[in-house]
Chain A
Amino acid sequence: MPEVDEIEQRPVTQARAGDSVAWDALFRRFQLPLYVYVVELVRDEQAALDIVQESFIAAVRHVGGLREDAKFGGWLFGIAHQKCVQCWRKWREVLFDEIPESADDFGDSPDDLLIRREQEAEFMHLLNQLPRPRRSVLLLHFVEDFSVEEIASITETPPGTVKSRLHYAKKSLRKLLEENHENPA
């Protein structure tokens, strides 16, 4: 993820000092991407809203633990990710699938993948078909363009595993989009 630029860092510094206007600016900046990430993971609108709210409250309470202002976004997504994990545990569902750490061709920008209007539904369908760990890294990559290290930090997963999951997820998506492109319905 590109680090929070100077304009975005300023609210973090002010928020640390207790400026509610700064908190409002920060939350406004991240509310929709964070919600998209959470709702695509938990697939429940109300649960996603609850998680976003709890993440905001936790951010206010624990902002003292944030080491670098520039990493506020990743830190906030990490809080939300932990709450998603708690939510999954509550629902007693399987959290992780283990993938061999083999792929190393990560490096495409998320914007390299372009989706035509007629492919949008298929894209969302395929995204929802992915196992949660792959969906998680793909969403973090797409929504906020987090780096592998950032995603690894957010999901508390080794960077190699993140690369692998991202590789397989993007490969699946590309395959689908190419198939649709070659054989338009």
Chain B
Amino acid sequence: MKTPRELLLARHQAATPKLDALRRGVVAGLDPANGRACPGFVARLLTLLWRGLVFPCRRTWTALVAVWVLLVIINVAQREGSSPGPAKSPASVEIMMTYPNQEKILNELLADRSQPMEADRPKTFTPKPRSETSGLTAV
């Protein structure tokens, strides 16, 4: 005869080795210094820094807020400076400088076209009397 407890524990007794391994794993993960679960070194260091230096210090928070506000102001100022027109780059200045030259060349070309060149001028045609007509008149 067994009590329900004895029966239940006996029924699952086979799980003991797995439970032992599981328990050892959890205990091995404890930080020997304070018995807490041991996180990674970097995470622990960051947590310590956060808790020790950043979180309780009002000056740190004030400095962070000031830096953040400064960044926002700089960002807004840059946007305002660049928003009215396209940005002037060195390339665009060069193009603007070459523009008068190109205009001058274009004007010259256009001027030449308005006054036809010598070779293109139409020849003045003056009809001459035909020879027959001239012979008849001579008769």
Inter-chain contacts of B5 with A (CB < 8 A): 110-111, 142-143, 145
Asked if A20 and B35 sit within 8 Å, CB to CB, the answer is yes
Given contacts A18-B33, A114-B2, A115-B2, contact A53 B8 (CB under 8 A): no
- Give A117 to B11 CA distance when docked, in angstroms: 12
Closest A residue to B3 using CB positions: A111
- Tell me the minimal C-beta distance from A15 to chain B in angstroms: 7
Given contacts A27-B26, A61-B36, contact A35 B4 (CB under 8 A): no
A interface residues, tally (CB under 8 Å): 39
**A36 interfacial contact with B, CB 8 Å:** yes
Chain B interface: which size bin? 20 to 34
Given contacts A20-B35, A27-B27, contact A143 B22 (CB under 8 A): no
**A23 interfacial contact with B, CB 8 Å:** yes
- Tell me the minimal C-beta distance from A79 to chain B in angstroms: 13
Asked if B26 and A60 sit within 8 Å, CB to CB, the answer is yes
**A49 interfacial contact with B, CB 8 Å:** yes
Inter-chain contacts of A32 with B (CB < 8 A): 9, 12-13, 15-16, 19
Asked if A113 and B3 sit within 8 Å, CB to CB, the answer is yes
A-B contact pairs, 8 of them (CB 8 A): A15-B35, A17-B35, A18-B33, A20-B35, A31-B20, A39-B15, A114-B1, A115-B3
Asked if A20 and B9 sit within 8 Å, CB to CB, the answer is no
- Give A129 to B30 CA distance when docked, in angstroms: 40
Asked if A110 and B9 sit within 8 Å, CB to CB, the answer is no
Asked if A120 and B23 sit within 8 Å, CB to CB, the answer is no
A contact residues vs B (CB 8 Å cutoff): 15-20, 23-24, 27-28, 31-33, 35-36, 39-40, 45, 49, 52-53, 56-57, 60-61, 110-111, 113-117, 120, 123-124, 139, 142-143, 145
Secondary structure at the A interface, as helix, strand, loop or mixed, is helix
Given contacts A31-B19, A32-B16, contact A115 B27 (CB under 8 A): no
Contact of A53 among B2, B9, B26, B32 (CB under 8 A): B26
Asked if B15 and A124 sit within 8 Å, CB to CB, the answer is no
Asked if A53 and B4 sit within 8 Å, CB to CB, the answer is no
Task: Give me 6 other A-B pairs in contact (C-beta within 8 A), A53-B26, A142-B4, A143-B8 excluded.
Answer: A20-B27, A27-B23, A49-B22, A56-B23, A113-B3, A142-B5
Closest A residue to B30 using CB positions: A20
